[in-house]
Amino acid sequence: DQQVKQNSPSLSVQEGRISILNCDYTNSMFDYFLWYKKYPAEGPTFLISISSIKDKNEDGRFTVFLNKSAKHLSLHIVPSQPGDSAVYFCAASAGLYYGNNRLAFGKGNQVVVIP
Amino acid sequence: ETGVTQTPRHLVMGMTNKKSLKCEQHLGHNAMYWYKQSAKKPLELMFVYNFKEQTENNSVPSRFSPECPNSSHLFLHLHTLQPEDSALYLCASSPGAGNYGYTFGSGTRLTVV
């Protein structure tokens, strides 16, 4: 049972345009959400997170939006740069509820930014 | 060194071999994890250790045997693996219980022949 779902496994976008990645979750107890970025032959690196008490968090070119009623979050990258070409994983945690820090991950989205 | 370090980076082993993967974190974290990443699949949690104690085994076959001698080191002992076990094995650590992200190592690319 996959609790975190990332559809549209790949995305190609022109440099300078916006990249939008979507993520849906099924567990209503999730209260913390993260995006990780992964280059080939490297481990995922933390990108940005959002708590369920907020609906938006921004960090430079990266913004995450959370819609709790729809159990949906999205990552916006603007403007997209060639160095953003990577796989992006959505992850969710119910740490405050379950008292643990287990993360559930989606399958990932491959982003290719075309120069 | 800082962060999470995994060795070796690449490993090729036969189905009758015994090998071990090593993970070391220099972040003062109390929780460590093994994840498996296969092609076109989500990251699969294998094991969780909190303060050296195993708190989760996600129905992992016994041919994978974890060991956590202290909060900074985590091993994954491998024996009689199958070709379908070929994958990227990722180690991660986090401060402990609560809402924290993980810090991942670079992974070990394992190929079973």
When pLDDT is cut at 50, 70 and 90, the band that residue B2 belongs to is: low
- In the predicted model, is pLDDT for residue B1 greater than 60? no
Q: Look up tokens 């929780």; give the residue.
A: B31
The answer to whether B106 contacts A93, with C-beta atoms less than 8 Å apart, is no
Q: How do residues A23-77 score in pLDDT, each as one tens digit?
A: 999 999 899 999 999 998 788 999 999 999 999 999 999 999 999 999 999 999 9
Report the pLDDT averaged over residues B63-72: 95
User: How many other C-beta atoms are found inside a 10 Å radius of the C-beta of residue A29?
Assistant: 14
Report the pLDDT averaged over residues B59-73: 94
B24 vs A42, which has greater pLDDT? B24
Residue-wise DSSP of B11-41: EEE-TT-EEEEEEEE-S--SEEEEEEE-TTS
Give the model's pLDDT for residue B100. Answer: 77
Give the model's pLDDT for residue B40. Answer: 73
Which chain A positions have a beta carbon within 8 Å of B101's beta carbon?
34, 36, 46, 49, 91, 103
Q: How many CB pairs under 8 A join A and B?
A: 67
- In the predicted model, is pLDDT for residue A13 greater than 80? yes
**Closest residue in B to A42 (Cα–Cα):** B106
- Per the prediction, chain B carries an average pLDDT of 91
How many CA atoms lie less than 13 Å away from A108 in the CB half-sphere?
21
When pLDDT is cut at 50, 70 and 90, the band that residue A98 belongs to is: low
The answer to whether A32 contacts B97, with C-beta atoms less than 8 Å apart, is no
The answer to whether A101 contacts B97, with C-beta atoms less than 8 Å apart, is yes
Positive or negative, the CA dihedral A102, A70, A89, B19 is positive
Positive or negative, the CA dihedral A97, A98, A99, A102 is negative
How far does B80 lie from chain A, in Å, by closest CA? Answer: 25
Give the model's pLDDT for residue B33. Answer: 93
